Amino acid sequence: MRTVTIDPTFESWRDKARELLAQRVSPAAVLWSDDRAEVSLFGAVPEPIAPATSSAPKVSAAFLGIARSAAAHIDPQRWAALYRLLWRLTLGGESHLLAMATDRDVRQVQGWCKAVGRDIHKMHAFVRFRLVGTNEVSGREQFVAWFEPDYRIVRLTAGFFQKRFTGMDWSILTPHLCMHWDGNNLHYTPGVLREAAPDADALDGLWRSYYRSIFNPARLKVKAMQAEMPKKYWKNLPEAELINELIAGSTARVDEMLRTEERPAKPASKNAYLEKLRQMNAETLDTSSQ
């Protein structure tokens, strides 16, 4: 049994996995750790890997995509599971394995991918940029956002934000990693505390007005809302402070509608267009009855 210590990133895992595979090291013979401190704590000495005697077998791009995504999860078992999958796909002779959603290893890795994918999707959706100023030289508006992802997904969202918000300067701050865009370059800095990001934006009030008005009190479906926008996100969404008030007031608003006296139909004022419509309607009636 050997202990392999890596950084908790896909690239670090891939490099080690390639070496191990080239040396035909069986998955059962490897203990993976992505915490260097922990390894030395237990006194185990990481075993140096001998140079590869042959090159590692090739694996499909589909697997690499899955592995990159699963690597962003935080389950400590993911490195071993990914190596086991890699082994089975190549030396294990199960090249069809990814088609087997019923396989335990495949299922587990797909589960991580799904959780990571959902986290990425929610970050795309729930990041809220706040205007902090304008760059005096370039004249570009500068925005800062705060987000708390469940997994290590910041780098995986970079392309999306860069393509969508090319024309403005922005920073997205998270507890683990921050990213910054200035129109030319994207760069990363270490994570920060919540206090580093601005609390509000001058437009939040207008946005809340919109949220309040687009809500239909006659069809309350709180569970459906929470399934897609769980409470853990609410603290960073400017509109979420309205939710309880809107729910509490909905019955009274519907009662009010039901009590309102029904309005009679009002005849149309004289209007050339309505007159033309009436003629067209009469013509279609004629043709359809012929």
Partner 1 sequence: MELQRKLEILADAAKYDASCASSGAARKDSRGSKGVGSTGGSGICHSYAPDGRCISLLKVLLTNVCLYDCHYCINRRSSNVQRARFTPDEVVQLTLDFYKRNYIEGLFLSSGIIQSADYTMELVIAVARTLREVHHFRGYIHLKTIPEASPALIEMAGRYADRISINIELPTQEGLDTLAPEKNLARTQAAMGHIRGRIDERFAEKRKPDAPKPPPFATGQSTQMLVGADASTDGTILQRADVMYGAYGLRRVYYSAFSPIPEPSKILPLKAPPLVREHRLYQADWLLRFYDFKVGELTSDDAPNLDLAVDPKLAWALRNRALYPIDVNKASREILLRVPGLGVRNVERILAARRYTKLRLADLLRLRLAMKKVLPFIIAADHTPVKLGLDSDDLRARFLPPPQQLELSFEPPAPTQADHISTRSGEL
Query: Residue 37, interface with partner 1 (CB under 8 A)?
Result: no
- Which residues on adjacent β-strands are paired with residue 187? 180
> Considering only residues 41-60, where is the footprint of partner 1 by CB under 8 A?
none
Query: Residue 28, interface with partner 1 (CB under 8 A)?
Result: no
Which one of 28, 43, 93, 263 is in contact with partner 1 (CB under 8 A)?
263
Query: Residue 166, interface with partner 1 (CB under 8 A)?
Result: yes
Query: Residue 237, interface with partner 1 (CB under 8 A)?
Result: yes
- Alpha-carbon distance of 140 to 170, in angstroms, equals 10
- Nearest residue (CB) to partner 1, 20 versus 127: 127
> Considering only residues 238-257, where is the footprint of partner 1 by CB under 8 A?
239, 243, 246-247, 250, 254, 256-257
Listed residue (25, 29, 21, 37) closest to 2, CA to CA? 29
What token pair was written down for 153? 């997904």
Contact of 233 with 126, CB cutoff 8 Å: yes
> Considering only residues 182-221, where is the footprint of partner 1 by CB under 8 A?
201, 203, 205-207, 209-221
> Considering only residues 102-161, where is the footprint of partner 1 by CB under 8 A?
102-104, 107, 121, 124-131, 141, 143, 145, 160
Which one of 22, 91, 168, 192 is in contact with partner 1 (CB under 8 A)?
168
SS3 143: strand
Of 3-11, 45-53, 69-77, 267-275, the window that binds partner 1 (rule: CB under 8 A) is: 267-275
User: What stretch of H or E contains 278?
Assistant: helix 272-289
Which one of 55, 223, 231, 252 is in contact with partner 1 (CB under 8 A)?
223
- Angle at alpha carbon of residue 181, lines to 175 and 185, rounded to 5°: 125
Q: 274 — phi, psi (to 5°)? A: -60, -35
- Alpha-carbon distance of 83 to 89, in angstroms, equals 10
- Nearest residue (CB) to partner 1, 24 versus 235: 235
Query: Residue 177, interface with partner 1 (CB under 8 A)?
Result: no
Q: How far is the CB of 198 from partner 1 (least distance, A)?
A: 12
Q: How far is the CB of 137 from partner 1 (least distance, A)?
A: 15
Query: Residue 262, interface with partner 1 (CB under 8 A)?
Result: yes
- Alpha-carbon distance of 33 to 241, in angstroms, equals 42
- Which residues on adjacent β-strands are paired with residue 144? 130, 171
Contact of 115 with 151, CB cutoff 8 Å: yes
Q: How far is the CB of 250 from partner 1 (least distance, A)?
A: 7
List, in sequence order, every beta strand (DSSP E) within 168-260.
169-173, 177-181, 186-190
- Nearest residue (CB) to partner 1, 4 versus 127: 127
